[in-house]
């Protein structure tokens, strides 16, 4: 076999955790090799070792027939390895072009050849169709645009092994197809792609080989043609999964959330939102989808009170909360699942107990005469850990020590513990494994079944289609249409997300 990469008996431990336990796998030259597993299975740690960001405790990695210097340390880019991280490695104050060429700046004599660098990047943009404004600063980019910058960084450095960590989470179905075509083009050029994803359908669509990890070990390795989605899911979680939850027919009550003619002008000439109108009713899940960067995040910030709209109003159960603080909106019955759990949902240095209490520390149930009631807090922590399946159940464990899926469970548990009237969930399962995703979906549907209103903002069309009663589509800061679930398909929604509507 023509293996370009051989990982042999790699073990890596962190305090209290065995991230990789005697892991071995082989990757063939010129293939798309999928790596799947639940959050915390060890996938990203293994790829960080391959890229040189983490040193293993033991084991070998053989690349193109030669051992990588694991003990001495190395940088993957020096060995033709590129990595597109799930959490981006970009400098916010630099422009897109500056981020792409950083560390690999071409020079003409002693002077930076900026024009030459720009031509090379523009050639990559044209070749692979990865559109992004090279002069914009990264701080002004959407999540999807920032991911494109990461992709261009890797291609600019001519990596022949490209690691992609959850690259389709912010793409429309049409864009995902375009990415898959790009991946096949890279493979046709002789490059190798290692593809980390939670979307098992993508594994079947684009991969040649799939490796499954669970609890830090490899539990399956096979050609894609010899398996199916159900078998992969069972290997990932170690048990047969129930059918994914889907929205059943329901009756709806009075409006609980209204967004009336909301506009936002971020600065002169830049209008992220244009006359947005939405209504969520009791017992309803309203899905809102769109490619990242079309105003969804700005709308979320307005709903939770981090931004003030230039015009329009936000009304919760007949009460105008447009100019109220986030805390006052919570008192009015709103709860929020933010799109980025690491920066908006949790405080990494806080314990599990403290993160579950955030925003409720003044509640009479948990404080008496200005002092926190440790016994009541411990009881609430134990209840939420059990109800939401948070692991490990250690109330003193720090936020950063939890896997992505369990971090998201902490956020969801805290928000639903408020018993809100309206849940605004923005990308609630991004980067979350299949088991945690199904659990979170069940809790979201439980809110609607209990007569609460849910606004689900997601770029995952399968998620929107399975959970929503109605589906709105955002494009360039406006809602370009709202469809009943029975009239919506991935193809139709994808076209609307791209600005092509009936």
The per-residue DSSP string of 453-501 comes to: EEEEE-S-HHHHHHH-SEEEEEETTEEEEEEEGGG--HHHHHHHHTT--
What is the C-alpha to C-alpha distance for residues 385 and 263, in angstroms, rounded to an integer?
40
Helices (H), 339-478: 352-357, 374-388, 404-416, 434-449, 461-467
Positive or negative CA dihedral for 166, 170, 173, 176? negative
What is the C-alpha to C-alpha distance for residues 179 and 182, in angstroms, rounded to an integer?
5
Please check whether residues 303 and 202 belong to one and the same domain: no
Asked whether residue 338 is domain-assigned, the answer is no
Q: Of 209, 237, 265, which marks where a domain is finished?
A: 237
Pairing state between β 192-196 and 32-37? parallel
Please check whether residues 310 and 440 belong to one and the same domain: yes
Pairing state between β 17-28 and 422-426? unpaired
Please check whether residues 196 and 79 belong to one and the same domain: yes
Asked whether residue 340 is domain-assigned, the answer is no
In DSSP terms, which residues pair with 234 in a beta bridge? none
Q: 384 is in which domain, residue-wise?
A: 347-419
Rg of the chain over Cα atoms, rounded to whole angstroms, equals 23
Q: Of 237, 260, 283, which marks where a domain is finished?
A: 237
What is the C-alpha to C-alpha distance for residues 285 and 450, in angstroms, rounded to an integer?
12
Please check whether residues 158 and 175 belong to one and the same domain: yes
Please check whether residues 86 and 153 belong to one and the same domain: yes
The total domain count for the chain is 3
Q: With contact defined as beta carbons under 8 Å apart, do 423 and 335 qualify?
A: yes
- Return the pLDDT at 173: 67
Please check whether residues 223 and 271 belong to one and the same domain: no
What's the CATH code of the domain at 189?
Answer: 3.40.50.300
Which residue, 233, 208, 206, is CA-closest to 220? 233
Bond from prior residue into 67 cis (ω within 30 degrees of 0):
no
Beta strands in 29-77 (DSSP E): 32-37, 58-63, 66-67
Please check whether residues 257 and 319 belong to one and the same domain: yes
Asked whether residue 438 is domain-assigned, the answer is yes
Vertex 453, ends 447 and 454: CA angle to 5°? 75
Match 């050029």 to its residue by tokens.
Answer: 189
What is the C-alpha to C-alpha distance for residues 186 and 134, in angstroms, rounded to an integer?
23
Please check whether residues 274 and 353 belong to one and the same domain: no
Please check whether residues 370 and 304 belong to one and the same domain: no
**How many CB atoms within 10 Å of residue 65?**
8
Q: What are the residues whose beta carbons fall under 8 Å from the beta carbon of 487, sequence distance 6 or more?
A: none
What is the C-alpha to C-alpha distance for residues 310 and 363, in angstroms, rounded to an integer?
33
Q: Of 211, 237, 263, which marks where a domain is finished?
A: 237
Q: With contact defined as beta carbons under 8 Å apart, do 90 and 31 qualify?
A: no
Asked whether residue 150 is domain-assigned, the answer is yes
Asked whether residue 315 is domain-assigned, the answer is yes
Match 């600005």 to its residue by tokens.
Answer: 499
Q: Give SS3 for 278.
A: strand
Please check whether residues 82 and 148 belong to one and the same domain: yes
- Return the pLDDT at 343: 84
- Return the pLDDT at 121: 92
- Return the pLDDT at 128: 75
Asked whether residue 382 is domain-assigned, the answer is yes
Distance of CA 345 to the CA centre of its chain: 13
pLDDT digits (tens, 9 = 90+) for 282-335: 999 999 998 777 899 999 999 999 999 999 999 999 999 999 999 999 999 999
- Return the pLDDT at 169: 64
Please check whether residues 488 and 429 belong to one and the same domain: yes
* Phi, psi at 418, each rounded to 5°: -80, -10
Asked whether residue 326 is domain-assigned, the answer is yes
What is the C-alpha to C-alpha distance for residues 175 and 169, in angstroms, rounded to an integer?
11
Pairing state between β 111-112 and 58-63? unpaired
Q: With contact defined as beta carbons under 8 Å apart, do 340 and 351 qualify?
A: no
Asked whether residue 151 is domain-assigned, the answer is yes
Please check whether residues 115 and 260 belong to one and the same domain: no
Low-confidence ranges of the chain (pLDDT < 70): 1, 86-87, 142-144, 169-175, 241-244, 248-250, 501-502
CB-count exposure of residue 263 (10 Å: 0-12, 13-18, 19+): middle
């Amino acid at each position: 076999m023509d293996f370009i990469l051989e990982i042999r008996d790699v073990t890596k431990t962190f305090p209290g955790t065995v991230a990789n336990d005697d892991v071995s796998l082989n990757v063939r030259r010129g293939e798309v090799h999928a790596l799947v597993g639940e959050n915390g299975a060890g996938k990203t740690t293994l790829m960080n070792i391959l890229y040189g960001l983490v040193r293993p405790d033991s084991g070998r990695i053989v690349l193109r027939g030669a051992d990588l210097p694991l003990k001495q340390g190395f940088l993957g880019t020096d060995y033709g390895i590129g990595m597109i991280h799930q959490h981006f490695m970009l400098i916010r104050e630099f422009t897109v072009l500056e981020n792409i060429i950083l560390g690999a700046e071409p020079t003409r004599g002693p002077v930076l050849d900026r024009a030459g660098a720009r031509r090379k990047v523009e050639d990559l943009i044209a070749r692979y169709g990865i559109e992004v404004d090279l002069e914009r600063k990264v701080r002004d980019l959407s999540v999807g645009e920032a991911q494109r910058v990461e992709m261009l960084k890797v291609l600019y450095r001519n990596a022949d092994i490209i690691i992609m960590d959850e690259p389709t989470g912010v793409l429309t179905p049409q864009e995902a197809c375009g990415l898959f075509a790009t991946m096949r083009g890279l493979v046709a050029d002789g490059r190798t792609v290692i593809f980390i994803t939670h979307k098992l359908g993508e594994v079947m669509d684009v991969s040649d080989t799939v490796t499954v990890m669970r609890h830090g070990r490899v539990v399956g390795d096979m050609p894609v043609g010899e398996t199916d989605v159900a078998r992969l899911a069972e290997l990932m979680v170690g048990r047969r999964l129930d059918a994914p939850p889907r929205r059943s027919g329901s009756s709806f009550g009075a409006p609980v959330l209204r967004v009336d003619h909301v506009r936002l002008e971020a600065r002169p000439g830049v209008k992220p939102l244009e006359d947005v109108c939405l209504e969520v009713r009791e017992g309803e899940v309203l899905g809102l989808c769109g490619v990242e960067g079309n105003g969804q995040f700005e709308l979320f910030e307005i709903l939770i009170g981090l931004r003030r709209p230039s015009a329009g109003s936000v009304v919760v159960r007949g009460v105008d909360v447009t100019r109220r603080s986030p805390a006052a909106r919570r008192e009015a019955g709103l709860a929020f699942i933010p799109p980025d759990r690491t920066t908006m949902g949790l405080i990494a240095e806080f314990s599990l107990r403290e993160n579950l209490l955030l925003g409720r520390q003044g509640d009479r149930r948990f404080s008496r005469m200005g002092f926190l009631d440790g016994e009541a807090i411990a009881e609430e922590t134990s209840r939420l850990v059990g109800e939401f399946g948070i692991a490990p159940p250690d109330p003193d464990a720090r936020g950063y020590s939890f896997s992505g899926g369990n971090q998201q469970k902490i956020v969801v548990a805290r928000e639903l513990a408020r018993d809100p009237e309206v849940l605004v969930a923005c990308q609630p399962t991004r980067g979350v494994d299949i088991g945690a995703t199904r659990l979170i979906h069940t809790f979201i549907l439980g809110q609607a079944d209990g007569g609460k209103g849910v606004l689900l903002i997601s770029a995952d069309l399968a998620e929107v289609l399975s959970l929503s009663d109605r589906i709105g589509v955002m494009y360039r800061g406006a809602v370009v249409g709202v469809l009943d679930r029975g009239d919506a398909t991935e193809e139709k929604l994808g076209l609307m997300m791209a600005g092509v509507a009936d």
